[in-house]
Amino acid sequence: MSGITLTLRALHHGERDLEQHLLTVAERHRTDHEVHHVATDVARWSREHAERLADTARHYDLDLPGPADDPSPGILATLREKTAEAIGRRPEPGLLLLHDLRDLHLAACENSLHWEMLAQAARAGSDSRLLDLATACHPQTLRQMRWTNTMIKTLSPQVLTSL
């Protein structure tokens, strides 16, 4: 297995994980409308990235799974929604949100590093297919990082000083 296929596999796994984590955070913090809607929106980017990675990987004889199943509103989703509503008025959700945003930020950072490594390898190998993929997807990952970082900067002072 080559370094490129290892990076494609790691990046595909990272994008799928980030999508699921974003959707979980969106449900968990349903009462915070900005978090809920933005997390849901940027999760779509990770889903698209994973799909594009799976398509591209076929050209390198790498079979990556397709997109994860769409989360359907099942009993766990309902339970998370009701829990979010019940604890939405207490101060502890702020700490939970900061923790979730930190985890999202670190996951997006890891993906960003993999996108950068893939782009550098593509440049070195004159691989326009990989370079086009990284050039198209990496900016959205950087925007995911900026969003989580901005939310952390905005929420940290209030949450951490109100305890």
Q: Give per-10-residue mean pLDDT for the chain (163 aa).
A: 92 98 95 95 98 96 76 53 54 87 98 98 96 98 98 95 86
Question: What pLDDT sits at residue 163?
Answer: 78
Q: Is 66 helix (H, G, I), strand (E, B) or coil?
A: coil
* 12: containing domain: 3-161
The CATH number of whichever domain residue 49 belongs to comes to 1.20.1260
Question: What pLDDT sits at residue 134?
Answer: 98
Q: How is residue 62 annotated by DSSP?
A: -
User: What is the pTM for the complete model shown?
Assistant: 0.85
Question: What pLDDT sits at residue 80?
Answer: 53
| 66-72 contacts at long range (C-beta below 8 A, 24 or more positions apart) | 67/16, 68/16, 68/19, 68/20, 71/23
Question: What pLDDT sits at residue 65?
Answer: 86
Question: In the chain, how many domains are there?
Answer: 1
Question: What pLDDT sits at residue 6?
Answer: 96
